[in-house]
Amino acid sequence: MNLEEIKRVVDRFAEDVSPGLIACDLFDKDGFSIYGINSNQDMCSIFSHITNMIHRSLENTSFPRMEYYTIFAEENRMVLIVDLGNGYLFGALIDSEKAKPGLVFSVALPKLMGDLKKLLS
C-alpha cells in the first residue's frame, strides 16, 4: 500500500468538495483509520460495523452488492460511506450546503472510488 498516493487521492477529494468537507477517513473493515482529515476513530468503528451489518443482511437476497450509501442528517450534514472492496471503506462527513450533493456524486466520488480501488487492489 502506497500511503503517499492514498494521501494524494484523499486530499484531492477534500479539494473537490471544499469547503464542504468536515472530515473523512480511509479505514479498514475493522474500523481502523489508515488516513484521514479531521479523523474520527469512533466513527470509523461505528460505520464499519453498520456497513458489515448491511452486507450480512443482504447476503442471501437478490439485491446487488452495495458500493456506497449516504445518510442525510441534521444541520445539512451528509455522511457518505464507500465500500472499496478488499476490506477497505471510505467515509466522509460533508456540509451539503457548502458542497452540493450533485458535485459530490458526479465528480468527486467517481474519481475517489476509481483511484482508491486501483491503489488498494
Strand runs labelled E in the chain: 21-28, 33-37, 68-73, 77-85, 88-95
Pick the CATH number of 3-100+114-120 from 3.30.830.10, 3.30.450.30, 3.40.50.300, 3.40.50.1100: 3.30.450.30
Distance CA 63, CA 110 (A): 22
Per-residue pLDDT of the chain (121 residues; tens, 9 = 90+): 799 999 999 999 999 999 999 999 999 999 999 999 999 999 999 999 999 999 999 988 988 889 999 999 999 999 999 999 999 999 999 999 999 888 999 999 999 999 999 999 8
The pTM of this model reads 0.94
Domain boundaries, the chain: 3-100+114-120
Q: What pairs with residue 21 in β-bridges?
A: 94
